[in-house]
Structure 1
Amino acid sequence: MSDTMDCVTQGLLRRIPKQERSRERIDEILKVSMDLIGSKGIDAVTMKEIASLAGGPIASIYQYFPNKSAIVATLYMRYVDGVGMFIREGVSRIVTVDDVFTAIDCIIDRYYENIRRTPALQDLLNATQADKELALLDLQESRNHARLFSDATSRFVAADRRDEFERMVFLMFHMAEAAVRLALLADEHEAGLIIEDFKSACAVQMQRFLPGSEADA
């Protein structure tokens, strides 16, 4: 987990787990919460229900989390950390200019499939847009994810255009969530087309900065 994410997580927890048993307890609370969100939606989930299914008194939940919002925020940060991991995996394979286009396609596909297969993530992401603090955190994490991509690819961009390139990548990464949310509202066929259209739009923008690739041919 990044230093930023780790600091935010510690700020949410009432008690920082130091023993393995405490960390396992938090993991169980978060797992149960995620399962409930996926089956009932965030609004219908209660702290009492989380405690019951996590196998302990409700006081054991409040020992770590001051409220349900803290649980939701912690789940969101774990999700963001996972996204960062597969972005790092994607950019680690970039050697040539053409690899940049392959990487962005793979990242978008993996991002979409990850959310599509996990209904609880869909509800979790919807909740971030309804909470001002989480929405601002989401914006910051889009910036962090975009920076991972920019840092791995800006070497292919002319020095005098790198600032513009980084802004474009930031916009692209932040819009990816909106594109995926739209695709998830459509039927499977149209959803696939929406994702392909978004990848094509990203490729067009990339070609402005990475001429000479096969995609530019």
Structure 2
Amino acid sequence: MRRAPTQKRSRDRVENILKAACELISASGSDTMKMGELAEKAGVSIGSLYQYFPDKASIIHALAERYNEESQHCLDEALADVTTQSGLIAAFDQLIDTYYDLFLAEPVICDIWTGTQADKTLRDMELEVSRANAQSLVRTILRLRDNDGDGATFAARCLLIMYTGEATMRLAISVPASEGREIISSYKRMMGRELSEMLQV
């Protein structure tokens, strides 16, 4: 963002802009969204829109950051109460299913993440999110192992799990639903074996 909102009125204006952007993207995709159209839908002047978002890419990035924060919160919450190997794998499987259903239900998320590879900023953001999520997974694994294990090795393996998960989601939502479900199931089976191996003391 060009200007971070500090007052409630400004924060409300930004929220309204992002809400309008979501509606436009859901209707016809981000490629066709125009800044003038967004300003009109959000009920703000084009000058006010540019005060906060200098271009369309900055709006996409703001929405991506929001979804990333939500996904990290969901992951941390799901892992917080895990106490067993089977519990971790069950929680991981549930998260993958939840993310896949969310991607299918939210056109905005699909729009953002199918275009990730074409935008270096979004690619870098995805990697950082994968690293943060991987660290949450590492902490859980080490907790279940009573801190017995190589955290650095686990970190690399968990990063692979998380980053591959993002790529799996993009593939799964780009094919017919029946094929997508099988891709998700295969990913869960493969990662379940990887998690089980890391949990062996």
- Which of 122, 126, 130 in structure 1 is aligned with 2:114? 126
CA distance in 1, matches of 2:116, 2:181: 24
The offset of 1:92, in angstroms, is: 1.4
Identity %: 32
Matched, 1:85 2:73: yes
Task: Give the distance between the partners of 2:107 and 2:161, measured in 1 at CA.
Answer: 24
1:112 and 2:77 equivalent? no
Contact 1:154 1:162 in 2 (8 A): yes
> What is the CA-CA distance between 1:117 and the residue it aligns to?
0.6
Task: Say whether 1:46 aligns with 2:5.
Answer: no
Contact 1:51 1:57 in 2 (8 A): yes
| Residue 208 of structure 1 pairs with residue 160 of structure 2 | no
State the shift of 1:70 in Å.
Answer: 0.9
Match of 1:14 in 2: 2
User: Match of 2:193, as an amino acid?
Assistant: V
Structure 2 distance, partners of 1:15, 1:186, is: 39
Deviant stretches of 4+, over 4 Å: none
Given that 1:36 and 1:45 are in contact with CA atoms closer than 8 Å, whether structure 2 keeps it comes out as: yes
The RMSD of aligned alpha carbons is: 1.5
String of CA shifts for 1:43-89, please: whole Å, max 9, x gaps: 11111010010012111101111111111111110010010111011
- Within 5 Å, give how 1:145-184 maps onto structure 2: 145-157=133-145, 159-184=148-173
SS at match of 2:54: coil
TM-superposed deviation, 1:25: 0.6
Alpha-carbon offset, residue 19 of structure 1: 1.4
Structure 2: gaps (5+ residues): none
Distance 1:168 1:67 in 2: 37
Name the CA distance, whole Å, in 2 between partners of 1:161 and 1:147: 13
CA contact (8 A) 1:142 1:174 kept: yes
1:32 CA displacement: 0.9
Question: Offset of 1:162 from its aligned partner?
Answer: 2.9
CA shift for structure 1 position 121:
0.8
1:198 aligns with 2:187: yes
Partner of residue 174, structure 2: 185
CA shift for structure 1 position 163: 2.1
Cα pair 1:91 1:103 within 8 Å, conserved: yes
For 1:192 and 1:134, how far apart are their aligned partners in 2? 26
Which sits farther off after the overlay, 155-164 or 24-33?
Answer: 155-164
TM-score (norm 2): 0.93
Q: Work out the number of aligned pairs and report it.
A: 200
Counterpart position of 1:59: 47
TM-score of the pair, normalised by structure 1: 0.87
